[in-house]
C-alpha cells in the first residue's frame, strides 16, 4: 500500500488511476474479510501466489530506480501478464470451489468470482491500452510516413502499382 504514498511523494499522480485506487481499497477490505472469516486452507493459495507476484513486481520497481539498469528492464509487460495469470488462477479456484463444494464458504466463492472478473476487466483494459494499443499506434506512425519508399512500391504513404 505504500506505493501510493511513494507516487504522491514523487509527484507521479498519473500513476494513481482508478485501477490503482480500486485495487488497493478493495483488497484491504477483502483481506480483512478473508482473515476474519476464512483463514487458512483455500485462502492460503491466493496469499502465496500474490506474495510471489509482488516479490517479482517490487524487484522490477526496485531495479528501475537505478538509471543505469533501466535499459535492461524489458520485462514490465510480462509483470502485467503474470498478474493476469494470477487473476485467472483465482477465478478458476473460485469456480472449482463452488462446483466441488469443498467447504469454502459459497458467499466467499461468489465474491471472489465477481472480484476476479472485475480485476481481469480492469487489468486487461490496462494491458490493452498500455501494450497493444500503444503498439498499434507505434506501427501507425511508421506506416504513415510520407517519404517512405520500399522497393519502389510505396510512395507518399499509398500503394502504387508497377506496370
Q: What is the pLDDT of residues 48-84, one digit of tens each?
A: 999 999 999 999 989 998 999 999 999 899 999 999 9
- Residue 9, pLDDT > 50, answer yes
Q: pLDDT tier at 163 (50, 70, 90 boundaries)?
A: very low
Element (H, E) at 4: helix 2-9
Q: In this predicted model, what pLDDT tens digit does every residue of 45-56 receive, in sequence order? A: 888 999 999 999
* Positions marked catalytic: 23
- Residue 147, pLDDT > 50, answer no
Element (H, E) at 124: helix 106-127
Whole-angstrom Cα distance, residue 89 to residue 99? 15
pTM score, two decimals?
0.76
Lowest mean pLDDT across 19-23, 44-48, 96-100, 130-134: 130-134
- Burial bucket for residue 43 (CB in 10 Å: 0-12, 13-18, 19+): middle
Whole-angstrom Cα distance, residue 77 to residue 132? 10
Amino acid at each position: 500500500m505504500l506505493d501510493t504514498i511513494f507516487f504522491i511523494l514523487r509527484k507521479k499522480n498519473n500513476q494513481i488511476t482508478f485501477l490503482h485506487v480500486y485495487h488497493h481499497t478493495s483488497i484491504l477490505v477483502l483481506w480483512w474479510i478473508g482473515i476474519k472469516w476464512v483463514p487458512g486452507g483455500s485462502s492460503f493459495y491466493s496469499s502465496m501466489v500474490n506474495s510471489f507476484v509482488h516479490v517479482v513486481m517490487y524487484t522490477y520497481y526496485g531495479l528501475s530506480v537505478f538509471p543505469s539498469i533501466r535499459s535492461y528492464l524489458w520485462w514490465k509487460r510480462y509483470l502485467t501478464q503474470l498478474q493476469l495469470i494470477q487473476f485467472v488462477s483465482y477465478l478458476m479456484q473460485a469456480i472449482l470451489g463452488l462446483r466441488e463444494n469443498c467447504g469454502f464458504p459459497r458467499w466467499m466463492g461468489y465474491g471472489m468470482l465477481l472480484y476476479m472478473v472485475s480485476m481481469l476487466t480492469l487489468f486487461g483494459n490496462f494491458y490493452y491500452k498500455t501494450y497493444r494499443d500503444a503498439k498499434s499506434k507505434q506501427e501507425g506512425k511508421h506506416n504513415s510516413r510520407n517519404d517512405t519508399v520500399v522497393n519502389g512500391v510505396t510512395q507518399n504513404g499509398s500503394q502504387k502499382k508497377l506496370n
